[in-house]
């Protein structure tokens, strides 16, 4: 019988929701528990898999008659005991447990393996999967977590540092510091590049109008810094798109890294 954690997610005998990533999605699916983030992701994932809009339906129980329609269904029940399906019907129905997604869980490991797949790693090492999962901590958005994992698979995990942050032109893998909100880091990179554009052209007035206090030393440092203008332009374009569309920050971070990967 399923138990429930303090956060309201279920703990039981069925596979955890992120394992959908590694299975062939069935036509009808049932989620057990109460986690808005996992419900939203399951809707998105199953909608893509079945090429049709799928919305969840919270029900008290699920019986055989409810999983025979031509239209794909996604039901949400509070407990596994509220599922009343014949063995044959249950076998062709996807049943998923909404457990906490954190280090040392099957759910987070599945997310890390999906991140490896995005980076072209077909058989990720088990120890490496666990090492990356330990860095990621608890997950609050599955799509963002997949891209975060892909970022970590792209190279050496950046070490925490008490000094200044590296820039992508200095280290295309290590410029995103561990433990920092990626949205904050992307915003700082955007303004660093805007300041460089003004400083490199000697536009002190424009530099003064950017966020932050006037710093003559910083203006001089940026004025003498030589950067490939095409990479600066492409990075600013991508950062501007991210700021406007508000898509997953780890996706943007990967795109920025790809811009600066080649010399």
Q: How far is CA 89 from CA 92, 122, 234, in A?
A: 6, 33, 52
Task: Quote the pTM value.
Answer: 0.65
Q: Whole-angstrom Cα distance, residue 59 to residue 77?
A: 6
- Backbone angles phi and psi of 171, in degrees to 5: -155, 105
Closest CA to 218 of 207, 230, 231: 207
| pLDDT tens digits in sequence order for the chain, 263 residues long | 444 443 334 445 899 999 999 999 999 999 999 999 999 999 999 999 999 999 999 999 999 999 988 899 999 999 999 999 999 999 999 999 999 898 889 999 999 999 898 888 888 999 999 989 988 866 878 888 888 888 788 764 444 444 678 899 998 878 887 677 888 899 999 999 999 999 999 988 888 887 666 788 888 999 999 999 999 999 999 999 998 888 888 889 888 988 998 76
Spans of all domains in the chain: 3-97, 106-153, 182-261
Closest CA to 18 of 101, 95, 98, 107: 107
Q: Whole-angstrom Cα distance, residue 166 to residue 51?
A: 42
Q: Whole-angstrom Cα distance, residue 141 to residue 148?
A: 10
Q: Are 62 and 85 contacting, i.e. CB atoms less than 8 angstroms apart? A: yes
Closest CA to 82 of 56, 63, 61, 64: 61
């Amino acid at each position: 019988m399923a138990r429930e954690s303090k956060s309201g997610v279920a703990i039981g005998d069925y596979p955890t929701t992120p394992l959908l990533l590694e299975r062939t999605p069935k036509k009808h699916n049932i989620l057990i528990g109460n986690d808005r983030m996992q419900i939203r992701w399951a809707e998105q994932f199953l909608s893509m898999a079945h090429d049709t809009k799928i919305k969840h339906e919270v029900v008290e129980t699920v019986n055989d008659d409810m999983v025979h329609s031509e239209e794909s269904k996604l039901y949400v029940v509070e407990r596994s005991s509220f599922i009343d399906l014949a063995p044959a019907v249950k076998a062709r129905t996807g049943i998923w447990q909404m457990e906490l997604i954190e280090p040392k869980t099957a759910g987070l490991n599945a997310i890390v393996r999906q991140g490896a797949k995005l980076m072209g790693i077909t058989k990720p090492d088990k120890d490496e999967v666990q090492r990356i999962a330990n860095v990621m901590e608890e997950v609050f958005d599955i799509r963002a977590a997949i891209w975060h994992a892909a970022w970590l698979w792209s190279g050496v995990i950046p070490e925490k540092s008490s000094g200044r942050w590296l820039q992508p032109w200095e280290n295309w893998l290590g410029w995103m510091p561990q433990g920092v909100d990626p949205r904050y880091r992307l915003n700082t990179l955007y303004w660093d590049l805007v300041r460089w554009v003004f400083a490199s052209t000697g536009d002190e007035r424009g530099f003064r109008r950017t966020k932050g206090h006037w710093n003559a030393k910083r203006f001089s440092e940026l004025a003498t810094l030589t950067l490939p203008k095409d990479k600066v332009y492409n990075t600013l374009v991508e950062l501007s798109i991210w700021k406007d569309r508000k898509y997953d920050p780890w996706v943007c971070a990967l795109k920025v890294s790809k811009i600066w990967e080649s010399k």
